[in-house]
Amino acid sequence: MDDFIVIGGGIAGVSAGSRLSKLGRVTLLEAEDALAYHASGRSAAMFEECYGAPSVVELNRASRSFHETANGGVLSPRGLLIVAGKGQEDALAVDLDVMHLDPVTADDALALVPILNPKTFVGAGYHKDAWDIDTDRLIQNFSRDVRANGEVVTGAKATKITRLPDRWEVTTPKGVFTAKSLVNAAGGWADQVATLAGISPIGIQPYRRSIARIPAPGGHDVTNWPLFMGAGESWYAKPDAGALIVSPAEAHPMDPHDAWADDMVLAEGLARYENMVTEPVTRMMANWAGLRSFAPDRNLVIGRSTEDAGFLWFAGQGGYGFQTSPAASQLLADIVSGDAPEIDAATVAVLSPARFS
């Protein structure tokens, strides 16, 4: 019998498994045939310390050192530029305040992203301290820790979960697995896993976000461009292997599934992007979508279920899973071990599943 079964092989599951592997043997179960198949494999992969709700920002700050140094670090410079068109002045003011951005002139913005349209541009803010995350390396680093004191089993969707007096029993196509504690890191499927385990769901809701990959606009070398987005996160664009990925930044509630992009939503988002640049979109090279899953209050859910102390929630990462993963997973391990968390007590309470009781 293992100490922990972790259900879910995205960034939530592998980071949780990594930390818990220091406390006991872990089996990580992933329904798909590869890790990071769903939301984690479709992320824009940025570390921006001030991005997210206050509890997310606290997790970001506590994660920074790990991202910078652990296993050689996973960050590389990118920068963040937020641009506003006419009618977006108020949204830009909020972004400047919340994200702690420095206001920049049109000339400064054009130096960073030369395709911006001066005719529609009314203001911008920039933050140099924003970073790309090497998501594949981070996933591999965490999963290596799991394998050092346990195993990763793919193609192992939980079809039945049984609570026995001293353990959990999880039935999958790859066999039956048992452990003293069960960690629900199933992303958009977290409520379904809870129900399967006899635990009340808490309202984890997946939201679709679509992305298009387009050629580098006007033949520009986009390598050193920042991530740039519309005020109020109305769209965003980011360099990606010599091309750009552009997202409408939509948040449409969906049932959990293998998501795909909505053509109309993509078209509307690309139009918002085109309104702020001088180079039209001539073709899409590819498109895809992912599901960002949130609790009702948009804070992560980390800790023991109030119904069963052997059931641990690690869900609701939303769009912040990669950047928060070091501190969020360490908090989970601290809760299990009884060690004092690095995160302050008020934030721990905000993240606790007990808030839904």
pLDDT tens per residue, range 199-208: 999 999 999 9
What percent of the chain is predicted at pLDDT more than 70?
99
**CA angle centred on 249, ends 90 and 124, rounded to 5°:** 35
pLDDT per residue as tens digits for the range 137-185: 999 999 999 999 999 999 999 999 999 999 999 999 999 999 999 999 9
Q: What angle do helix axes 11-20 and 135-148 make, rounded to 10 degrees?
A: 40
CATH code of the domain made up of 80-128+205-294: 3.30.9.10
The letter for the amino acid at 189 is W
Mean pLDDT value across residues 316-329: 96
Report pLDDT digits (tens) over 269-315: 999 999 999 999 999 999 999 999 999 999 999 999 999 999 999 99
How confident is the model at residue 36, as a pLDDT? 85
Tell me, what's the pLDDT at 189? 97
End-to-end CA distance of the chain: 30
Element holding 64 (H helix, E strand):
helix 54-69
If pLDDT is split at 50, 70 and 90, which confidence band does 38 have?
confident
> What's the pLDDT tens digit per position in 68-114?
999 999 999 999 999 999 999 999 999 999 999 999 999 999 999 99
pLDDT level of residue 39 (50, 70, 90 thresholds): low
Looking at the chain, the domain(s) classified CATH 3.30.9.10 span 80-128+205-294
Q: Where are the domain boundaries for CATH 3.50.50.60 in the chain?
A: 2-63+134-204+297-356
Q: Which residues contact 22 (CB under 8 A, 6 or more apart)?
A: 145, 149, 333
CATH number for the domain running over 2-63+134-204+297-356: 3.50.50.60
41 has pLDDT over 90: no
Taking a C-beta distance cutoff of 8 angstroms, is the pair 142, 70 a contact? no
